[in-house]
Every structure is written in C-alpha cells, then in structure tokens.
A and B are shown apart, each in its own frame.
Chain A
Amino acid sequence: MKRFLMILIALMMAPATVLAAIDTIAVDVGISVFKTTPIGVIPFAESAGIDWMEERPHQIVTRDANLSGRFDVVASDKFNLALFSRSRAEYYITGKVQPQSDGKLKVECGLYVSKTKNLLFGESYTIAQKDLRRAVHAFFDKVVYRVFGERGVASTKLAYVSKMEGVKQVVVSDYDGFHRSQITRDTTISMMPVWTKGNKGLVYVNFKTNRPRLYTKAFGGSEKPLFPQFDQTYSPAVNPVTGELLFSSSKDGKTDLYLGNLENNKARKFAYLKSNQTSPAWSPYATEVLFTSDRGGGPQIFVMGKDGSDMRRVTFMGRYNERASWSPKGDRIAYTSMDNGKMNIYTCALDGSDIVQLTSNAGSNEHPTWSPDGMLIAFASNRSGTYQIYVMRFDGSNVTRITQGGENTSPTWSWFYEEDKPQPKEGKK
C-alpha cells in the first residue's frame, strides 16, 4: 500500500517519460489508440452455377479489412444508404462473379462512394477459384492505397516454425494463415526463419550438424550452408538496403555479432564488445542496429550505429527485455519482456520512453514481428494452450488468431512484394 502511494505521488510529480529510467513506471496496457475507418461490404453478385469451394469474395474482403487494422466493416446484404451514412462508411466494396466457359471465374471488384454509388475504382480478375484469395488480397491492397495513400499488406506473407511429427520445420503462408507451404523437410530442428531481400528466399537455423547453424534457401531452390567457418550461428537479420546478414555466433561461450555476405559467405565481426550480443535488428534504412546485450547480467536492449559506434541502452524497466525489432516507420520498437516467467510484448520509443504493454494475462506472448506497413504485429502465443500465431494492431488491439492446430511459433513478416502481384487481366481504371 505504501509502495502504491509512493508510486502515485511519483506519478503526480513527474511526467511518465522522466520515469523511464526507474523500475516503477506507468505502462499503458493494450488501449486502442488508432481510429479505424468504417467501410461497407456487400456480398458480390454472382451468376448461378458456381460451385464454391473457397470463401466468397466479400468474406475474404471482410477478413482483410478486419485484419488490416485500418477498417471497421459495416456488413450489409445489399446497398443501404441509411446504414452506411449512420455508420459513417464513406465507401463500400462489392462486385460481381461470373463463371467462364473454361471453368475459371471472372471476378469484378469495386470500391464505391456510398453517397453517390459511383465507382471510385475497380479491378477485374479472371482466375481459377483456388487463386481467388490472392486476387481479392491484391484488390484490397489497392483499396488501402486509394483510401490511405499507403501500401496494404494483404499480399504479404509470413514465415514461421511449425512442429510436424515432433520436429520443428520452417513454413510459409499468406499473411492471413492461408496457402501454407512447407520449406524445410529435415529430421533435425529448423527455426528462426527470416526473409532475404526481395522475398526471394529464407535464411534459417538448422541443427543437422548437431549445433545451430545458418542456412539459406531460395524458393524453389536448394539449401546452402551459410558461414561454415563459424561454429554456432543464429539470430539472422537481413539488412533491408544491402541484403547483408547480421547474425550471432557463439564460440567458447562468447556470443558476438557478425556481418556477412550471403553470396560469398564472407563475414566480419560487427562490434567488439565484452558482453554477449544477440538478436540484432536493423532500422528501416539500415543506419542503426538494435541488439540485446547481457552486460547488466540479464538481457537488455541496446542500439548502435551501423558502424558499431554510439552504443546506448534502450530498456531499463524489468530484468529481461529481449529481441527488439524496429517499426517500419522507424519511430518505435517492439520487444518481449519477461515477468514472473511469462513473456509479453511491449513497444516503446527509441529512447526507452513511452512504454506500451500490448499483451497481458493471456499466456506467454513472444516473437513480435512488424507488418511492412507498420500497422500490425504478428506474434506467437500459447493463450489457447498450444503455441499459435496471432496478428494484432500495433497498439495491441484487434487480436486475431491465424493458425490452427499443431504448434506454430516464431513468425517473421515478409517485406512488401515489389513484383509477384497478381496482375488484373482487364482494368477499368
């Protein structure tokens, strides 16, 4: 009680930022701070004779809109001006599906203005039904761009670790958990997947030599060992500008960061520090690096320049702060913190102030990874009893589970896809 009073007094006397350096500190817990934009969604008109094996287009749009963290869906069976204007849904999405003679579907998607029913823009895709999700994702990303002027993430992917027959394997799926495909097929553990530049492949850790070692595999290509001159290598982080790899290597009990080239396997020590360093993460333009050091005993997060200079400590609250990652907008970091043996996800500003706790009272929550637009954070949680992957808004609200069954951990979000977008066959722009 006395302690509580003291904290209260302290809080009254000082703004929260000043308290960043001491143990008793105000932390916001998962309060939604983002204002979502209402958007109407109407089932697509469809000709008779479609044998649906997938979700309908409006269901996919609804899930994309809800997952995006940007929209609030106002669902309606048909156009309803009263409902849309009452809900302040300025726009609505609907479309038309027609079966083609070759068994494909012609899917027309449109973004309309509620007040006038005018088409703002539309896309038409002629596709096999199994490609419907990806077509709708592509359309939805264009909606996001139209409404917010920013790229959406509905066409991005996640890499994560899935336990199959008792062995951890690396898998890749769409950002919503669909279209999952297995990347590693080993009898030894695979883990820690990250995306190489341009989403061409993955870098991950495998134990086939009875120690953690990094490997890379281009999609559709074969596996290549990385940096075989090192003993134990892990914690890969791809430089978003050059594609180089920062990683940890342990030798004789000492762990250091190294910077290596994926093409020629050359690597050099990144920073000469007495402490152990792990979990490196690049800033969006690769000018600085976040990492974890144990120089205070337990793990704490530090930042330094890309030349290894100007090291400063970021986290001060609690004894265990680890695995920081930089938001794509560059203003905040996400990390995990341990309290009473449970892991939870936090974000804070780069000077360690303005701490926000995103998860609480729901099992252990680990391995946050930012969506490339900075709106979302994917993470692993055992809140349901087994570890599964979830997506939430960057403020901790709107938590959605995207994997089912088995055990899924360690998600890493892809970069934006620069090519590979499904191209519309006919545009109505």
Chain B
Amino acid sequence: MKNLVKLALISSAACLMLVACAKKNQPQTDPTAEAGAAATEAVDANAAESQVNADSLAAEQARLDAERLEAERARLEALINQIMSEDVYFDFDRSELTEKAKELLAQVGELLIKEQRFTITIEGHTDARGTEDYNFTLGAKRAMKVKEFLSAYGIEDARMESVSYGKEAPKVEGSTEEAYSQNRRANFRVNIK
C-alpha cells in the first residue's frame, strides 16, 4: 500500500514535470499553425491588456485544448513508461510469482483498470543458463503466470497477450548471479487501443 502511494506520487510528479516541460517547449516543439497562432495571440494579449475580443478568447481556448491534449499525452506516456519499467522477477527455473512480484503486478493491474484503452504484451524472459528450447517454455510459463494474476485482478484476457523470448533478450549482459537475476523477468509492452 505504501508503495502504491509512493508510486502514485512519483507518477503524478512525473506528470507535472512533463506537463511543465510541454508548456515551456510548446512553441519550439509544436510548430502547428494553431500553436503558432496561440503564441502570437498571447503576445498580443499581453501588449494590450484591456483588449479582450472573441478572437483571442478562441485562441486561448485552442491553446488550453492543445495544452490539455499534450498533458494527457504526457500523462499516458508516463503511465506507459511506468508499466514498461515494472519488471517482475523470478527465481531460477521457477515461474511462481514472488510476494514482491504480486505487489508490483497489483499496481500494474490498478493502472490497467484506470486506463481501459491500454492493451499489453507480457514478455517472459530467462537468464542465460540452460538451453534455448527449455528457456522458451520457461519464459512462456512466466509470462502466463503474470497474465493469470492480472486476469484474476480483473483485466480482460482480450487486453493481454503473452509471449516468450527465452534467453534471447537479456536486460543485462554478463554471467554473474546479479545479471542472471535481472534477466529472469517478465516485462510489459503497452499499446493504446
């Protein structure tokens, strides 16, 4: 629960930051006619403080809309990044979810319930030890355990796809237990419907 609050804080902070950035950068990064017009209108409005007309109001509205859209986009992006960074780790040659993994998946489940447009691909991975063949089956089992958990959490099966990468896509190179433990994982790819 504590984690959840922390996470919420982090994600909202990230959203704010992104929104702030989006605001600052808008004239440079968004060279659409609308945004350009909004910027000039804004300057005009500053120059002639008292002059309020329908045109500038509309421009202001457009600017706000664009900003809101940008903020929403940034918020979704932050959420997607968050889900994609939530790797679930496993013990060697095991596919059972650890308590820590379940906590983390509960958070992902919450996000997916809130954001109904998100669909996910769950990728199962193994460490570098063992054969390619068996590691595919192991990765498939891991991805499935994650899918089952999220399914039980209330996410529709149609929104989830599971795939095994076996030992072919390590997150960390190397043959230390540290590297191995980072690679025995399931992670997410997020798509928006």
Contact = CB atoms under 8 A, between A and B. Distances in A.
B188 to A, nearest CB: 13
B147 interface: yes
Interface string B95-133: 000000000000000000000000001000000011111
Chain A residues touching B, majority SS: strand
A332 interface: no
Contacts of B148: 253
Interface residues of A, number: 37
A347 interface: no
A292 B132 contact: no
Given A212-B136, A212-B164, A276 B141 contact: yes
A366 interface: yes
Interface string A292-334: 1010011100000000000000000000101100000000000
A253 B143 contact: yes
A273 to B, nearest CB: 13
B136 A323 contact: no
Contact of A232 (B121, B130, B163): B163
Interface in A240-262: 248, 250, 252-255
B163 A252 contact: no
B129 A191 contact: no
Given A341-B129, A343-B129, A253 B134 contact: no
A276 B166 contact: no
Interface string B26-63: 00000000000000000000000000000000000000
B147 A323 contact: no
A411 to B, nearest CB: 13
A192 B136 CA distance: 12
The interface size bin for chain B is 20 to 34
Nearest to B136: A234
B162 interface: yes
A88 interface: no
A211 interface: yes
B136 A336 contact: no
A367 interface: yes
Contacts of A62: none
Nearest to A189: B168
Interface in B57-102: 93
Given A207-B168, A212-B164, A292 B133 contact: yes
A250 B140 contact: yes
A68 interface: no
B144 A252 contact: yes
A71 B129 CA distance: 36
Interface in B162-191: 162-166, 168
Contacts of B165: 207, 212
9 contacts: A191-B168, A192-B132, A231-B163, A234-B132, A248-B133, A253-B140, A323-B131, A367-B131, A410-B132
The 7 closest A-B CB pairs, nearest first, are A253-B144, A250-B140, A255-B137, A279-B133, A211-B163, A322-B131, A235-B133
